[in-house]
Chains A and B, each alone.
Chain A
Amino acid sequence: MTAGYGTPYSITAFQTYLFSLNSGWIVARRISKRRHFGYKEIQGGVHSRSSHDTSARRVDASPGASPSSTVNPSEIAFFSRLSQQWWDEHGEFAFLHKMNPIRMQFIREKILEITREEQGEDVAARMENGPGLLKGLDVLDVGCGGGLLSESLARLGACTLGIDASEANIGIASLHAAADPRLSSRTPSAASAGVQGSLTYAYTSAEELLRGSQRYDIVCSMEVLEHVDNPAGFLSACAELLKPGGHLFLSTIARTPLSYLLTIVAAEHILRKVSVGTHSHAKFINPSELVGFFQKYRSLSPPPNEKSGSDKSWITRTYEHGLPSRKEAEVRGMVYLPWKGAWVLAPRVASAYGAATACNYLFWVRKPTSDAL
């Protein structure tokens, strides 16, 4: 561990619990930390500096500050042992491997949709049929784990930075990427192909990155949010790391009876795939809570030389069922089909009526551009 960033921030909860397996079936044993937070708590976090709401048990977090909770070092050792299995496609993380293609599909669809909206059909069509969808974009993967998502982002041409608070994860991710000539940019073939991005891993936290000046076109954090003790602080940090007009992609689990049934009753108590007590149902976050958060959210620390719309809401209005405008934010369900052994991205219609978003879902929101109305 290198001095300077190792001590207080290295063991943040949200990054060490990245070992979430399918639908956030966490491999860790974590019984003690069931805490209720929900919509109110997220609000509380955001407004912690200004509001007077002190009734909820909220984490004292503000953008730029680190989450306060820490993790038992023995659990870190436990996770680090597990990290060897990140790339075993039939092992502990099989479901996560299967989920990866549809997360990427969602990112792809959303980027194409916005491109079509803003740059026209021709540009979008070229992107759609050509390689290098994310060419030249700076992309951050928060809680990259073994690098499943990071590698895919880099293959699509993104200049990717994967960060994780587990040093073992970063080691495994780097080792795995080193085997791939298209990711370890030492080979000339990768550069000559002209569509390859780059991939860097770092052992750090989102809060730590905020101290630097680098901001990102896309920030992803998949299957992380439901393991965070201070989701408001975490979301703020991710949001602050975006350039104006940047995209934030999240995936997590909704707090519903269905998710209780699938992730706790079925996975833990019946199938015994996961140790009892792994999940904390109360920590799951509903789509409406994320939408609500970004309705209230304001960028508080505009990057230097940028007058970002700090007083502008990310989601300005919602429609039926509390759904945001698709140009501002979107929720899409992910459904596992056991008979196919594969995840599918739920159709938009299904996502809109909540049936498909009752367990695992993807969330996208866009940071307002500085010159937008």
Chain B
Amino acid sequence: MLSCSSRAAPKGFRPYNKLLVARADRARLHTDSRPEDYDVVIVGGGPAGLALASALGSKPHVRQTTKVALIEAGDLAKIREWHLPAGSFSNRVSSLTNASQYFLESIGAWRYVDETRTAPMEEMQVWDGISDARITYVASELGFRHPTQDGSSVPQMARMTENLNLQRALLRHLSSVSEVQLLDKTKVSSIIREDREGGGWPLVHLSDGRVLRARLLIGADGFNSPVRSYAGISSYGWAYPTQAIVATLSHQPRSPLQGPNTTAYQRFLPTGPIAFLPLSPTESSLVWSTRPHLAQILTKSNPDVLTSMINAAFRLPEVSIRHLHKLISDTTAHITPNQIQEEIAWRERSHAIPPNSALSSSLANVDNTGLPPEDAEMYPPLVKSIQPGTVASFPLRFNHADTYIGEGAGSRTVLVGDAAHTIHPLAGQGLNMGLMDVESLAECIGNAVLTGGDIGSYTALMPYAQDRYFENHKILSAVDKLHKLYSSTLEPVVWARSVGLEVVNELDSVKAAIMMSAGAEPRVTIGSAARIWGAAAKGVESLAGAMGLAVTIGQGAAGAVHNGLQELMRATTGQRRV
């Protein structure tokens, strides 16, 4: 006991603490090894987990009072030493919003990011694959700027950053924070609740035999979160019938007349959106969401076939893309690059696309000297090749945990990032949402430490859940609705959404609101951001409503009067069939 306590305690009082300590010690004999006490145990060394450790380590009052450990199964040294030559890029890239970048700067981690490997996104072009209705977001018009290191500011709505570049930066930042312990190449073998009267703390058993007793156990352990299972938190979601193909693309630099490669392109095809995200003047990143069987064929096909398919997917009318998909699906043998190029050339001719137009793929390997074709800036640069070894695909899902804070038998747990929510990548929000979670949670923990709170308690963590849950839910639902909206080829739906997009394009305020969903604004304006978000979510909602209406009209037009009457009967009698 500390000296001051014995002074403060009047003599002759019953020593409750000693009795209880003895009891607790007896209880501990049942475990294999003696647990080590930690205030915060983070499971998962991905971007969210590392950012959380960095954020906690950046606050002096937290660092000095809070013992933090991060557990990661993989080898973090490999990420710390990660290096690629200039001009080649990893295939996992995120568009870090200005808000995310502000946060990373504020904790002192951004300065470890190799900025030469990042690229600002100054403009975004989004269009409908069927109706060609298009929205253009221009950062400078919308007033999105981000300060640079030399004190000026550049127009930017997000910064394209390789996930490994960010993770490496966070690790380098953490190596300056000795208080945070990184336990890598270590797996969590089990999490067991301590057996203690009045509620036990989580005991994290590690593969090396150590046992960590956690005041607060944080699940940054991804979609299949073991922490979430321990906490008994169920989650709601489904797998989309969609896979995302990622790859690093090489292309010609844009001509001096076109400006730099800082525009992101996204085309909504019925099979899913295809996105082109700029990394450097001659490299960009691909995220192509499509049907699983197509993804399988495309990722296994000759890289030149994939290259041609990518160029076509941004340019050819939807009907031809459908035929190309059918072609690669039906051909038993692998289709050759020549075959696919001939097919595309034939289709361009039949659509009356001149070879020198922006919609033509024929100029892919021609140096773009001279005047660019008209409307060239409406489409991404033509892809020349795919960097070897960068093609990969992964399944997409929608998932949201029922709560972020464990209660009862799962108390002293909290979820961040993908452990709490997984999202369709079409808005590029997955990592940004995770970083905003981390910022909020770190702030919440910091505030609790300042007022002497127990950071593992529900009371201390509640502000985090209040801050993030509905915010994340709005983004999740809006993106999910967009995905479903654009997966349809039904004509009234296409009409409704083309009108929706055109109307949106006219209304600057709504446009800004939709941008807010991409989190381009710094978080300092959280109140207004939340408000505008409400408007954005409503906008998407009404768009979805229009779709529902269109579907109804479509059904009516199909002459299914009988069905309609049946529907009406069901609705009025309340025998709704789900």
Please give the residue numbers on chain A whose beta carbons come within 8 Å of chain B beta carbons, in ascending order: 2, 4-5, 87, 89-90, 97-98, 100-101, 104-105, 108, 129-133, 136, 138, 140, 151-156, 159-161, 170-172, 174-182, 184-187, 189, 191, 193, 195-204, 209, 212, 214, 216, 340-342
Contacts and interface: CB of A to CB of B under 8 A. Distances in A.
Q: How large is the interface on B (under 10, 10 to 19, 20 to 34, 35 or more residues)?
A: 35 or more
B1 A97 contact: no
Contacts of B14: 2, 203
Which residue, of B16, B67, B215, has the highest number of chain A Cβ atoms within 10 A?
Answer: B16
B179 to A, nearest CB: 10
Interface in B189-219: 196-201, 213, 215
Contact of A130 (B60, B197, B454): B60
- Top 7 closest A-B pairs, CB basis? A198-B5, A152-B452, A159-B4, A174-B16, A104-B451, A178-B20, A155-B452
B369 interface: no
B65 A193 contact: yes
A342 B447 CA distance: 15
B124 interface: no
B466 interface: yes
A216 B13 CA distance: 18
Contacts of A195: 64-65
A105 B4 contact: no
A214 B10 contact: yes
Interface in B457-479: 457-460, 462-463, 466
B443 to A, nearest CB: 14
A171 B19 CA distance: 11
Contact of B201 (A170, A179, A196): A179
B449 interface: yes
Contact of B5 (A5, A200, A212): A200
Contact of B459 (A89, A105, A129, A179): A89
Given A129-B60, A197-B4, A198-B1, 7 more contacts: A2-B12, A4-B12, A152-B451, A178-B20, A195-B64, A197-B2, A214-B10
Nearest to B457: A89
B64 A138 contact: no
Given A131-B61, A151-B452, A175-B197, A138 B4 contact: yes
A97 B198 CA distance: 16
Given A131-B64, A184-B21, A203-B14, A161 B37 contact: no
Contact of A138 (B7, B199, B407): B7
Contacts of A90: 407, 458
A176 B200 CA distance: 10
A174 B61 contact: no
Main secondary structure of the interface of A (DSSP, over half): mixed
Contacts of A187: 37
Nearest to A140: B8
B367 to A, nearest CB: 58
A189 B35 CA distance: 13
A279 to B, nearest CB: 24
B448 A151 contact: no
A87 B458 CA distance: 11
A340 B466 contact: yes
Given A189-B67, A195-B65, A214 B8 contact: yes
Given A184-B17, A189-B37, A179 B196 contact: yes
B257 to A, nearest CB: 53
B453 interface: yes
A104 B457 CA distance: 15
B459 A200 contact: no
A202 B5 contact: no
28 contacts: A5-B12, A97-B457, A97-B459, A104-B452, A131-B60, A131-B64, A138-B4, A151-B452, A155-B65, A155-B454, A156-B452, A159-B4, A172-B198, A174-B16, A178-B20, A179-B200, A180-B215, A180-B454, A181-B37, A184-B20, A189-B37, A196-B65, A198-B2, A198-B5, A201-B16, A202-B10, A204-B10, A341-B462
A171 B13 CA distance: 13
Contact of B451 (A89, A101, A202, A342): A101
A29 to B, nearest CB: 26
Interface in B247-289: none
A320 B8 CA distance: 40
B221 to A, nearest CB: 24
B13 A204 contact: yes
B141 to A, nearest CB: 36
B24 interface: yes
B450 interface: yes
Interface in B139-186: none
A176 B454 CA distance: 12
A133 B450 CA distance: 8
Contacts of B17: 174, 177-178, 184, 200-201
A191 B2 contact: yes
Given A98-B459, A159-B7, A214-B10, A130 B64 contact: yes
B16 A170 contact: yes
B333 interface: no
A186 B21 contact: yes
B24 A178 contact: yes
Given A159-B8, A193-B64, A179 B24 contact: yes
B371 interface: no
B94 to A, nearest CB: 32
B453 A101 contact: yes
Contacts of A138: 4, 7-8
Interface in B50-73: 60-61, 64-65, 67
Which residue, of A87, A154, A199, A200, has the highest number of chain B Cβ atoms within 10 A?
Answer: A200
A231 B548 CA distance: 66
Contacts of A140: 8
B8 A200 contact: yes
Contact of B21 (A2, A153, A154, A178): A178
A101 B448 contact: yes
Contacts of A185: 1-2, 5
B9 interface: yes
A90 B196 CA distance: 19
Contacts of B449: 131, 155
Contacts of A131: 60-61, 64-65, 449
Contacts of B453: 100-101, 104, 152, 155
Contacts of A204: 10, 13
Contacts of B459: 89, 97-98, 100-101
Nearest to B67: A189
B20 A89 contact: no
Contact of A202 (B2, B9, B215): B9
Contacts of A198: 1-2, 4-5, 8
B5 A199 contact: yes
B13 A179 contact: no
A100 to B, nearest CB: 7
A129 B449 CA distance: 11
Contacts of B12: 2, 4-5
A326 B498 CA distance: 63
Nearest to B12: A4
A269 B458 CA distance: 29
Contacts of A191: 2
A253 B16 CA distance: 33
Which residue, of B4, B20, B60, B197, has the highest number of chain A Cβ atoms within 10 A?
Answer: B4
B181 to A, nearest CB: 13
Interface in B285-331: none
B64 A179 contact: no
Nearest to A171: B16
Contacts of A199: 5
Contacts of A179: 24, 196, 198-201
Nearest to B35: A181
A122 to B, nearest CB: 16
A100 B37 CA distance: 25
B214 to A, nearest CB: 11
Contacts of B460: 101
